[in-house]
Amino acid sequence: MSFKSRFRAPVSPLRRSFDQPSHRPTVAAMLRRDQPAEPVHCLRPQVVERAAVAFRAAFPGETMYAVKCNPEPAVLRALWKGGIRAFDVASMGEIRLIRTMFPQAAMHFMHPVKPRAAIRAAYQEFGIRTFALDHPDELAKIREERGGAGDLTLVVRIAVPKGGAAYDLSGKFGAAFRPAVDLLVAARAVAARVGVTFHVGSQCLDPQAYVRAIELASKVALRAGVRLDVLDVGGGFPVAYPDQVPPPVDVFGRTIGEAVARWFPDGVELHAEPGRALVAGGASVVVQVDLVRDGMLFVNDGIYGALSDAGVPAFRFPVRLMRASEAAPAPFGLFGPTCDSADRMNGPFWLPADVREGDYVEIGQLGAYGGALRTAFNGFDRARMVEVRDPPLLETPGYADAAVAA
Ligand SMILES: *Cc1c(COP(=O)(O)O)cnc(C)c1O
């Protein structure tokens, strides 16, 4: 008897219909033309490109894009147009995608815990030389799988306090101070270059969270007696939501630059790995209302689709009714299409009080962790994707004026 394992079928791919960039419709024109019965992901490649240009101008180091946030090829192409040439990858799927699309791109394998086979393939087949780690056993794996070569850049992920972020990303990864010191010493002995990285948590509104983490990184290095080649300040950079207005992106860039100059006076190669900040404004999702009941709208996308952050994490996304209405705004909650009562988004989302069955509602700032987290649960696996020319529903401070090449 021989056993064969099969790969599971993925979620239905988004049905794409892209017009020529010069003919991109507005969301309103697309709805008049298509009358879609499925949720529609409305991509704004020009907004993604502009965010990449603005972030790179503000950040005093190399900007790598964290691919997990939105791996849609049209989004990746827009980032490339905006000057992004390096990518933070965390899986073989992301590595293959980036290598196929951009053969010259730099990739940094920043997942602290990797399958051995992935380390081997990344090093031997894909030429990746930068690896993150937060445990001595991972160091042993990397040493064993790299095939003996000594040209590694090893970056130790340290744990940092949550600070001002909506999401804590230190619950799973990051070495505490003393183990981080030991790991840095051990990495120094086997690597060509060493670094420290951290993640302050996603949607971090407080620039001082980066300052505190940079200070901690310098203290780890000092205690280890190791001069850092690389300091990678991770992701976490915020965007605007209806109830959150972050400081402008250049304040983050300047604050980080000053902290690096203070704590690393001998200089260090500086990296950042933004995800959300580059792509959130670059996509919205248009949903259709199936029923209105007691202040709740039953709509055709939900937490198992592109709206998981509107569920338990309770993000309040900007919304607009895609029909003229004189009615006063009223607060609504949303129910997604599945039969799970957890498929609920309390918002509140402010829409004209006369919103009714059949209406289309556009939900903005969904380019980050929206489409990337879709599932096929309960058979609601269909969605379309179009490119539109509208501005984002909300502007994040510091991004609107970035100059984009024609
Ligand atoms: C998810 C992730 C990022 C991107 O985080 P954002 O908050 O979206 O900027 C960057 N680096 C690592 C290691 C990550 O896991």
pLDDT tens-digit series, residues 341-359: 999 999 999 999 999 999 9
- Shared-domain flag, residues 21 and 153: no
Determine, yes or no, domain membership for 224: yes
Instruction: Determine the atom of ligand 1 nearest the C-alpha atom of 273.
Output: 10
- Shared-domain flag, residues 257 and 292: no
Instruction: Determine the atom of ligand 1 nearest the C-alpha atom of 169.
Output: 15
Who has greater pLDDT, 340 or 17? 340
- Shared-domain flag, residues 275 and 288: no
- Shared-domain flag, residues 296 and 188: no
CA distances, 371 to each of 104, 305, 318, 319 (Å): 26, 7, 16, 17
Give me the sign of the Cα torsion angle 9, 77, 322, 332: positive
CA distance 228 to 196: 7
Determine, yes or no, domain membership for 72: yes
- Shared-domain flag, residues 17 and 107: no
- CATH number for position 302: 2.40.37.10
pLDDT digits (tens, 9 = 90+) for 185-224: 999 999 999 999 999 999 999 999 999 999 999 999 999 9
- Shared-domain flag, residues 220 and 150: yes
Number of domains in the chain: 2
Query: Tokens 């850049």 identify what position?
Result: 153
pLDDT digits (tens, 9 = 90+) for 64-119: 999 999 999 999 999 999 999 999 999 999 999 999 999 999 999 999 999 999 99
**For strand 130-133 and strand 86-89, is the pairing parallel, antiparallel, or unpaired?**
unpaired
- Shared-domain flag, residues 149 and 274: yes
Confidence of residue 2 (pLDDT cuts 50, 70, 90): low
Determine, yes or no, domain membership for 172: yes
Nearest to 143 by CA among 192, 101, 102: 192
Q: Which of 279, 294, 317 is the last residue of a domain?
A: 279
Q: Is the pLDDT reported for residue 325 higher than 70?
A: yes
- Shared-domain flag, residues 289 and 158: no
Q: Which of 258, 279, 300 is the last residue of a domain?
A: 279
Q: Is the pLDDT reported for residue 238 higher than 60?
A: yes
How much is the mean pLDDT over the chain? 94
Residue minimizing CA distance to atom 10 of ligand 1 = 235
Determine, yes or no, domain membership for 401: no
pLDDT given for residue 150 in this prediction: 79
Q: Is the pLDDT reported for residue 270 higher than 90?
A: yes
Q: Which of 279, 310, 343 is the last residue of a domain?
A: 279
Ligand 1 proximal residues by C-beta, below 6 Å? 66, 68-69, 88, 110, 199, 202, 234-237, 273-277, 368
Residue 85 Cα to ligand 1 midpoint, Å, equals: 17
The residue-averaged pLDDT of 291-311 equals: 97
193 SS3 class: strand
- CATH number for position 234: 3.20.20.10
CB atoms within 10 A of CB 156: 34
- Shared-domain flag, residues 122 and 27: no
Q: Is the pLDDT reported for residue 406 higher than 70?
A: no
Distance in Å from the first CA to the final CA of the chain: 61
Residue 230 Cα to ligand 1 midpoint, Å, equals: 17
The residue range of the domain holding 17 is 6-44+280-387
Instruction: Determine the atom of ligand 1 nearest the C-alpha atom of 237.
Output: 9
Determine, yes or no, domain membership for 223: yes
Strands (E), 76-234: 86-89, 106-109, 130-133, 153-157, 165-167, 193-197, 202-204, 230-232
- Shared-domain flag, residues 339 and 379: yes
pLDDT given for residue 148 in this prediction: 67
Determine, yes or no, domain membership for 333: yes
Confidence of residue 20 (pLDDT cuts 50, 70, 90): confident
pLDDT given for residue 400 in this prediction: 85
Q: Where are the alpha helices (DSSP H) in 3-86?
A: 27-34, 45-58, 73-81
Determine, yes or no, domain membership for 184: yes
What is the CA angle 356-360-366, rounded to 5?
Answer: 130
Nearest to 370 by CA among 297, 293, 318, 298: 318
pLDDT digits (tens, 9 = 90+) for 26-78: 999 999 999 999 999 999 999 999 999 999 999 999 999 999 999 999 999 99
- Shared-domain flag, residues 78 and 160: yes
Determine, yes or no, domain membership for 86: yes
- Shared-domain flag, residues 110 and 15: no
Q: Is the pLDDT reported for residue 16 higher than 60?
A: yes
61 SS3 class: coil
